[in-house]
Amino acid sequence: MKDNLSHPDEFDIRLDIDGADTIITVKPEETSDGARYFVCYIGPDRITQLREEMDGKWEQIWGILDHWRIDSIGKEINLRQKS
């Protein structure tokens, strides 16, 4: 069982949003059937939930981000997961 007080899988990514260097905190989560998705925050505000589809495309589960931002965040998540 995960310890909800500590988030060892949580990480930050940097993304240029509207000309500003923005830190996005990414918290990996899993559905009850084990499918992985990522909850993204700027400060205390949740901005989106994303998942990577089998074909490698990123889909927004929750939020109102445009496709460019979804793909940009997904690319950074992939880079972080590989390191």
Question: pLDDT digits over 34-55, tens only?
Answer: 889 999 999 999 999 999 999 9
Residue pair 23/42 in contact (Cβ under 8 Å)? The answer is yes
Q: Tell me what pLDDT residue 64 has.
A: 94
What's the pTM value of the predicted model, to 2 decimals?
0.85
Q: Tell me what pLDDT residue 13 has.
A: 96
